[in-house]
Structure 1
Amino acid sequence: MTNDKKEYEKLSKIAPTVVYPFGTFKDARDEMKTFGTLLGKEKEAREWTKMFNQKMKVARAKIKDASVQGETFSLIGAYAKSVYVYGAYGYRGGEAIYTQLGLTPPESVKKDAIDTADGYKAISFEVLPKYAGDYIFVDESYNGKLDQDNPVWKSLDAVKKGKVFFLDPDRFWPYDPNAVQAQAEEIADMISKKAKNE
């Protein structure tokens, strides 16, 4: 998936190339179905989807057992001096958190990052409390580091209660169907483990 014309030209010299811009697919199932049709592998795509649905059912059950009903979840990213709030697109595990696991975002995240075309919002540290859920997932990549000594950060309930999870960028940056599945399972395990240790 690329919008880079030079990249497309380079790849199309090697093999037939189809470009799907970011945001084309509504979720992992839709992506797998599309590629199954494109490659004449409809049966394999259906089998994968059946397996995926079962794994998501198990992951959602783990979260339900963790008794987080009514609690909210935020996904933020730290880049140098900027902070980003992510929605339900492929960004940094957003699809796994919101679409596949059905975790509830704060209303401000829903309004400004999920119900928008971009799927994210750049914010200042000062307004972070407005977007902070009861649980916070953090992406630190491209040399971005969250200032954990900042008084605003320290004031958040999720921080005080130890309900913050720093995500491994190598695992949470990809957004292909298999990556989304692994991310959802890992998120469910994080929440379940936290609940058992309380």
Structure 2
Amino acid sequence: MKKAFNIVAVLAITAVLFTGCGKANDNTPASGNGNAADTAKTTSAEGTAEPAEPSGTKEASGEASENAAVTPLQVEETVYPYTYTDGEGREITIEKQPLKVAINYLPHWETLILLGVMPVGTTSAEHYIKTWDALQGYDLSSVTDLGDADINLELLAGLEPDIILQQSYNKESVENLEKIAPVVVFGPQVKMDWRYSLREIGKVVGKAQKAEEVIAEVDQKLADARGKLQEKYTGKTVMLMSLMGEDKYYCAYRPDLYDSKTGLGLNVPEGFPTSEQYEQVSMEALAEMNPDYLFVNVFDGDEAYLEELNNNNSVWKSLKAVKDGHVYRLDGSGHAASAISTVYTVDTIIDKLLGEK
């Protein structure tokens, strides 16, 4: 598939990180992508997130017109020693800026890459990073694969990380990891909202300002395409769905795609879910929504199901998007709400609908 991720400034974070330029571990759909335009934070010495001073401009929050520049928020950089209050309310003291970061949740890899930090080790490197379209083009020679379902503690200890980033709290797991290095456990908003993820992880690794620059870069991309899409596709509906097995179709309201002020401003069909959490929908519901354009996330191993729909499902073949040849395939990374995966989805939609990225 044609590589979609092409934000020049983000790709130029550091030449060391780049050579150029599956399905989830369980059957539970990942959370949808949230909008963090109103969650900008500054970093306090105690690690407490405080609301940023209002800028008074739309540009700073990403609500830019097609021709307006999106200006990054200016925030204080982390000063070490630094005490960060994690998603479990635990106060984690970080003595110095962590240079060797290990992660026990793959989407944090995406966040760190955009911040210019190559993790020394991550779970699911072989399974996802080397196969998902959104994650191609990175030099992983220095990254140790720490396993999929269970992290390999022996390998992790050998890396001597300065800090370990984990997404959910498990007492036994955290206690084992803490024998190796300090552990930061993030809450659900970091999982759902890539902007919030950039900001929170940016604080921990001393890249708070870089986080704002990346957010502004993506918001600029959204703003530049929004007006063009709204003008060209007035009255047309666009839908993103995930195919996750036979007769398993999932949809979620993704603000980066549908919000008219901060996203691409695409029109959703009537009856489309309003929740940012993925919801399973039936084929009959798809027929009732009947979008003009349909983007389908297809996970590894599910290509046969899409082929079956195209060849033998009369309801599917009756959809306007299918009849008009307006169905576009993404791989499983289009389902994720994480940073690089979101940009991949946005870029693919812009490419297919406008012929540009």
Q: TM-score, normalised by structure 2?
A: 0.45
Shift of 1:10: 5.1
SS at match of 1:105: coil
Equivalent position of 1:184 in the other structure? 346
Shift of 1:180: 1.6
SS at match of 1:32: helix
SS at match of 2:271: helix
Equivalent position of 1:46 in the other structure? 212
Specify whether residues 178 and 72 from structure 1 end up closer, same or farther in structure 2 by C-alpha distance, changes over 3 A only: same
SS at match of 1:133: coil
Equivalent position of 2:319 in the other structure? 156
Contact 1:27 1:95 in 2 (8 A): no
Query: What is the aligned counterpart of 1:80 among 245, 249, 259?
Result: 245
Contact 1:73 1:104 in 2 (8 A): yes
Contact 2:300 2:331 in 1 (8 A): no
Unaligned runs of 5+ in 2: 1-104, 106-166
SS at match of 1:108: coil
Shift of 1:163: 1.2
Distance 1:107 1:13 in 2: 52
Distance 2:247 2:186 in 1: 29
Alignment of 1:62-141 (within 5 A): 62-64=228-230, 67-88=232-253, 94=254, 96-99=256-259, 100-109=263-272, 113-115=273-275, 119-141=277-299
Distance 1:104 1:13 in 2: 50
Unaligned runs of 5+ in 1: 89-93
SS at match of 2:328: strand
Deviation readout 1:17-63 (Å, 9 max, x if unpaired): 22334444664323222222333322212222222222222333452
SS at match of 1:107: coil
Equivalent position of 2:92 in the other structure? none
Determine which structure has the larger helix proportion and give its number. 1
Contact 1:79 1:142 in 2 (8 A): no
Specify whether residues 20 and 154 from structure 1 end up closer, same or farther in structure 2 by C-alpha distance, changes over 3 A only: same
* CA RMSD in angstroms, aligned pairs only: 2.8
Contact 1:36 1:42 in 2 (8 A): yes
Shift of 1:7: 5.2
Query: What is the aligned counterpart of 2:355 among 188, 193, 197?
Result: 193
Contact 2:242 2:335 in 1 (8 A): no
Distance 1:57 1:69 in 2: 17
Identity %: 30
Specify whether residues 8 and 183 from structure 1 end up closer, same or farther in structure 2 by C-alpha distance, changes over 3 A only: farther
Shift of 1:159: 0.7
Shift of 1:136: 0.9
Equivalent position of 2:329 in the other structure? 166
Contact 2:298 2:329 in 1 (8 A): yes
Specify whether residues 14 and 104 from structure 1 end up closer, same or farther in structure 2 by C-alpha distance, changes over 3 A only: farther
Q: TM-score, normalised by structure 1?
A: 0.75
> Whose Rg is larger?
2
SS at match of 1:46: helix
